[in-house]
Amino acid sequence: MFNAFRTTVLLAALTALFMAVGYFVGGTSGMMLAFGFALVTNLFGYWNSDKLVLRMQNAVPVERSRVPELYDMVDILSRKAGIPTPKVYLIQSDQPNAFATGRNPQNAAVAVSAGLLKHLDTHEVAAVIAHELAHIRNRDTLTMTITATFAGAISALAQFGLFFGGGNNRNNPLGGMGSLLMVFLAPVAAMVVQMAVSRTREYEADKGGAEISGDPLALASALQKIAGQAGRQVNVAAERNPAMAHMYIINPLSGQRMDNLFSTHPDTGNRIEALRKLAASMQVDDKGRRPQPRQQPVSTGRDIGGGWRVPTVGRTDEDGGQRGPWG
């Protein structure tokens, strides 16, 4: 119920912002046109924004026969999260990162980059997927996906109005200055909305994901690795569509276009510290393991490239402790 209310409030706020942009670009007529456009965007965003986001981020569906270990991991973690198994997509990027999308848990997808499978170990990948499943379970994916669609549309509307002479429109209350201001201020306003939606939800998804995977320190390690690589590996699709950046587990934009005050993501160091405190409360040691009776490995899985091996059921570490009982 709360999530439905939150989504309604978000849609109302974005619609109002849309109308404000239309008003300052084209006066009353511009506001009415923007309102109609907002209604269409609302409907489109609810039914199709997930497909649009996946396509714009160069995410392609992968067959189970190609990476069965990854599918098994997503399936096991989904059952632990108590949600249907989402579709699996691969992002064509060397930057390690991931995001989830979909209007509800029954129509959801998890997208992981090729770089994530290359640079992270099995337990870190599992922790990242669990984080994204927590977003799906919390129904964050609808609000985050619609926000991304609206943010891009708001920026496009402001630029469209300026390009087609909005600055010379006599109905424009601020004339050319109004259009010029909207070109710069509308994306900032959309970014503030994204920030409000994303920041608190990331902390909640970190906590939920750590509980699903049972390995908060693996998620902390994954966040550290991803953040370190994000500044060095360019995610071309994200750079072309920065309005989608808040959907990723770590900001995919190289160089952080805005400082931390305006970042759509919480500070990575703060997230890691919160996960370490959670690990202490869960009595997980500094290697991310709980003491367990010694047992033999059930399966070691197969190498799918980049040295990444995913067990089919679970893996026991060499000293007898089982790390991250996600299997």
Question: How many CB atoms are located within 10 Å of the residue 189 CB?
Answer: 19
Largest CA distance in the chain: 79
In sequence order, what are the residues at sequence separation of 6 or more whose Cβ sits closer than 8 angstroms to the Cβ of residue 273?
none
CA distance 310 to 196: 36
* Contact (Cβ atoms closer than 8 angstroms) between residue 310 and residue 301: yes
Considering only CA atoms, which of 205, 101, 194 is closest in space to residue 155?
Answer: 194
Q: Where are the domains of the chain?
A: 2-323
Q: Which residues of 280-306 are buried (b: 16+ CB within 10 A; e: fewer)?
A: eeeebeeebbeeeeeeeeeeebeeeee
Please give the DSSP secondary-structure letter assigned to residue 245. Answer: G
Does pTM surpass 0.85?
no
Distance between CA atoms of 101 and 132, rounded to whole angstroms?
9
Q: How far apart are CA 74 and CA 77, in angstroms?
A: 5
With the CA atoms of 156, 162, 163 and 164 taken in that order, what torsion angle do they form, in degrees rounded to the nearest 10? Answer: 110
φ and ψ at residue 325, rounded to 5 degrees? -70, 50
Burial 16-44 (b: 16+ CB within 10 A, else e): ebbbbbbbbbbbeebbebbeebbeebbee
Question: Is 132 annotated as catalytic?
Answer: yes
Residues contacting residue 39 through CB under 8 Å, at least 6 positions apart = 15
Q: What are phi and psi of 323, to 5 degrees?
A: -90, 130
Per-residue confidence of the chain (327 residues) as pLDDT tens digits?
556 676 677 777 777 877 877 777 667 777 787 778 777 776 776 788 788 889 999 999 998 888 899 999 999 999 999 999 999 999 999 999 999 999 899 999 999 999 999 999 999 999 999 999 999 999 888 877 777 677 667 767 666 665 555 545 555 555 556 566 666 676 676 667 666 666 678 999 999 999 999 999 999 999 999 999 988 889 999 888 877 888 899 999 875 444 444 566 888 999 999 999 999 998 876 555 565 544 444 343 444 444 444 433 333 344 444 444 444
Catalytic residue among 132, 211, 273, 318: 132
Q: How many CA atoms lie within 13 A of 112 on its CB side?
A: 28
- Please report how many Cα atoms fall inside a 13 Å half-sphere around the Cα of residue 191, on the Cβ side: 19
E strand or H helix at 112, and its extent? strand 108-113
77, 133 in Cβ contact below 8 A?
yes
Query: Residue 20 contacts by C-beta under 8 Å, 6 or more apart in sequence?
Result: 31
Amino acid at 114: A
**pLDDT confidence of residue 30:** 72
Tokens of 86: 């989402």
Show Cβ contacts of residue 268 under 8 Å, excluding neighbours closer than 6 positions: 223, 224, 227, 250
Contact of 90 with 60, CB cutoff 8 Å: yes
Q: Do 266 and 199 contact (CB within 8 A), yes or no?
A: yes
Rounded CA separation 166/160 (Å) = 8
Q: For residues 48 and 272, what is the distance between their CA atoms, to the nearest angstrom?
A: 34
pLDDT on residue 283: 83
Could you give the C-alpha distances from 295 to 6, 203, 317, 320, in angstroms and in order? Answer: 47, 34, 9, 7
